[in-house]
Structure 1
Amino acid sequence: MQGAHRDRDDTNRLIDRVRQAIANQEPLRIRGSNSKHTLGRRVDGVDIDTRSNCGIVSYDPSELVITARSGTPLSEVNAVLDAANQMLPAEPPTFGGMATIGGAVASGLSGPRRPWAGSLRDFVLGCRVVTGEGRHLRFGGQVMKNVAGYDVSRLIAGSFGCLGLLTEVSLKVLPKPRASAFLSIATDAEEALRELAAWRKSALPVSGACHFDGRLHVRLEGGEGSVRAATDRIGAEAAESSFWEALLEHRLSFFNNTEDTRALWRLSLPNNTSLIPLPGDTLIDWGGAQRWLRSDASAGEIRSIVSAHGGHATCFRSVESVEPFHPLAEPLVRYHQRLKARLDPHRILNPGRMYADL
C-alpha cells in the first residue's frame, strides 16, 4: 500500500526532545515543512522538526478512516486516498506539495469545498499528542476522549501547536463524487453573490464558488443526473478544472504576485453577507463566506468593517507590528489561557504563535 513512501516512527525522539525542553525551560518552535511560516506570530524558540516522524499507520478504504504520522507529506496522503477513489473532503492545501498532515491539522486550513463538506476539524477522529508536560496521550474514541470535558482531538485542529505536538492523526475520508462539472460566468461580484444566494435556496450540488477577476467560477459535484441538471440550469460556459487547484494552492496571481507588497488578509463572514466595501482588491471564495483582501489599510480599519458584519479577519501573511489573528473577547481569552495552562503548563510549545498571552 505504501510503496516507496517513507515510513518511520520517530515518536520517541520527539517525546525526549519535549521533555528535555521542559527540563531546560526552553521554548520550542514546532514545524514540519514550514509551508505556513508566514501565518501567525513569530515564535522565539528552538526548532523541533516533525518530518522524520512519517508514514501511513493504517488505512482501510472500507472503513473510511486513514491514520498517519504527523510528518507525513499531505500529498502522500492524498495519493494513497486517490488510488482508492477517496479524498479528504475539506481539501487542506498542500502548498506546492510541501505541507505535512500534522501541519494541515494544526493550522486547520480548509479548501474551496469547506462550506458544503465541512471544515478539516470536522473530520478529525482522533490524534496522539505530546503535551507540554512531556506526556504522550491519545485522544479520540480509541483510548482517551478528553481532558476536563474537552474534545481535545478537535481542539488541536487549528491550535497551531500551542496545545501539543501532534505525532499521529486519524481522519475520516469520503468517496470522490461520481460526477463533476466546472463552469465560468462573466459577471460582477454583486451579481455573483445574488446568484449564489438563489442557488443555495435551490440546493444545487455546488462544491465550490469563487469570484475572481470579473468571473464567477463554479464547481458542481454529485450524481451524474444532479450535476447535469444543475449545469443546464446555470447555463454557463465550461471551464478548466485546473482553476480549483490553483485557487486551493494559492497559485492564482492574486496570491503570488511578487510585485504586490500589500498585506494579504483572510476575512471570514456569514455566508449570506452581501457585497461590502473593502479597502483594497478582493477575491471571493466559499460562496461569499471567505474573502481574501489585498490592502494597505490598517488592521483596525479592516477588522472594524468585518466585525460590523459578524465576521473576523486574519492577516494571512504576517506584517510586522500587526497581530495576525482577530482579537478575542475577554471570556474567550480566559478560556484559551485555561486550556494552555492545562496542556502546556510550562509554556514551551509554540508560545505566542497565536496570541501573546498564549
Structure 2
Amino acid sequence: MLRRTTDVWQAEDDPGRLAGLVREELARREETHLPLALALPEAAANIVQRELPAALTGEELRRALLWLIRAETEGDAHIEEKMLCCTPLTDVPPYRYWTAVMPAVQVRAVYAAFAEAGLSLQRLTVCPPGGGMLAPQIEAARAAPLPWAQTNSESETSVDEEVLPAIYAGLLFHPETPAQCYWGSTQKAINLCRCAAAAVAVLAAVLFWGIASDIGSYMTAVQARDEMRAELLLHSADQNRLEEETELRADMEERAQLLGAFLSESRPLRALLIRLGTAAGGGVRLTALNAEGQMLRIEGEAVHYAALTAMMTRLQEDAGFPDGITLERAEHERGAAGEPAHVHFVLRAAWRSEV
C-alpha cells in the first residue's frame, strides 16, 4: 500500500521531523513495529559518477571508490568520516559507477532520529536513476498485481516516477540485494522479517511511505520460480569474489637485478626506479620493466584492483609521466599451490628523464 502525506520534508530539514512524519503515518495503521527502509532524495547526498579500471563488486567495490574519494579530497581531515553507497552503470570498459556520499555523522543522525521516535530503521539509501542495478526487479514489481493505492489522477508515468524510490527501498530487504546499495543499520540485531518490511521513500518536495510486504511476497515467489537461476548466480558470485587481501612478499633479488641492469645503461634511470618503487607501494610487485627510447613497458602483480588503481593514480600525478599511464592489460590470475590470487597487469607510459 502506498499513500501520500499532507506534509512536506526537504533534504535540509531536521531528520527528527522526518522520523516524526513517518511515525505519525505508521501509527494510523498500527504498524510502527515494522522494520523500515528509507530512500533519501538526491539533494541529501553528494552524487558523482566515477570510473575504475576493472569491474568490482561488494565491499571491494565500496573500498575502491572510497579510495578514489580520499585521493580527490587529499588533505581533508574528515575524509574518514564519509560513507558511500553505489551501483554499477556499465558492465564493459570503461567501468562507470554511480555513487552517493554522505558524512557519517549525518547517516548516524538519521538512524538516531528514527530510533528516538521508536521506529526500526534498517536500511538507508539514495535511489539511483531508474533504480540502478535493481531496475529489473523494480520492473517485475511494477508488473505484479500489487495493490498500489494511487492518491491522484495524474498520468500513470508520473505515479511510477514518484513511487520508484519506495519500490527501490523495499527491495533492499531482498536477500540478494548487495550491501553496497545502502548504508546498513548501526544496530547489532537486524530484524529479518522481510515479508513485513516497510519501505519509506522521501522525494525532494513530497514524502511517500510504503509497506514492502507485497513486494517481498512477490519477489519471494519470483525467487522460487527461478530457483535454479538464483543458485547459479550465487555460485558465479562466489567464484568471482576476490580472495582476502594479503601482502605479496617483496622480491628484493629481482628488484636488485632490475636496478643493476638499468643503472649500467643510464644514470637518469635511477630516478625512474625510485619513482616506480614509491608509486608501487604496498600490494604491488613489479616483475618486468622494458624501455624502448622514452617508452616504458611496466609489468607486475597486484593483490587486487584497488592496489593497481592506487599505483596508476600516483603515476598519473608524477611529472615524469606527462602523457599519463595507459593500462594495456589487467587479468585476475590464481596463484600456484599455496600462493594467493593476484592481478597480473601491463602498463605503458612515456618517461621524461629530465624531470
Give the TM-score taking structure 1 as reference length: 0.24
Q: Which has the larger radius of gyration?
A: 2
Give the TM-score taking structure 2 as reference length: 0.24
Q: Whose helix proportion is higher, 1 or 2?
A: 2
